Amino acid sequence: MGHQVVHYEIRAKDPDRTRAFYGELFGWTFPDAPEPGYTYIETGESSAIPGGIGKAAGATGLVTFFVGVEDVAAMLETAEKLGGKTVLPATSVPGVTFALFSDPEGQVIGVAHSD
């Protein structure tokens, strides 16, 4: 299996302000998602990589992308063996299991598997 980018998201301190900014800038729209306060990003292109905007968990925002993998937990283990650190362990929500890790320089990347 190849490992391509399958999702991206913007986690912001003020998601509503962020949506207003990108909506005005790029013409994006934001349909609701199952997570409260989280919305999908509709770019107007049918072939676009899916994305979303939600509330930042910490004091600062985060922009990241998710790479498709077969086994999220195994990929976290491999990332740690290579010098990375788990930021968010494997988490399942309807339709997907995902996790976040930081690489050796601190960039946060996600991995995801569609159920």
Average pLDDT rounded to a whole number, residues 3-19: 95
* CATH 3.10.180.10 residue spans of the chain: 7-57, 69-115
pLDDT confidence of residue 59 = 82
Give the three-class secondary structure for 114: strand
Express each pLDDT in 44-65 by its tens digit.
999 999 999 999 988 888 899 9
Express each pLDDT in 77-108 by its tens digit.
999 999 999 999 999 988 999 999 999 988 99
Rounded Cα distance between 77 and 111, Å, is: 12
pLDDT confidence of residue 52 = 96
CATH of domain 69-115: 3.10.180.10
Rounded Cα distance between 10 and 63, Å, is: 5
Q: Indicate the pTM of the whole model.
A: 0.85
Residue 1 has pLDDT above 70, yes or no: no
Rounded Cα distance between 36 and 78, Å, is: 32
CATH of domain 7-57: 3.10.180.10
Express each pLDDT in 100-113 by its tens digit.
999 998 899 999 99
The alpha-helical segments, DSSP class H, found in 1-115 are 15-26, 72-81
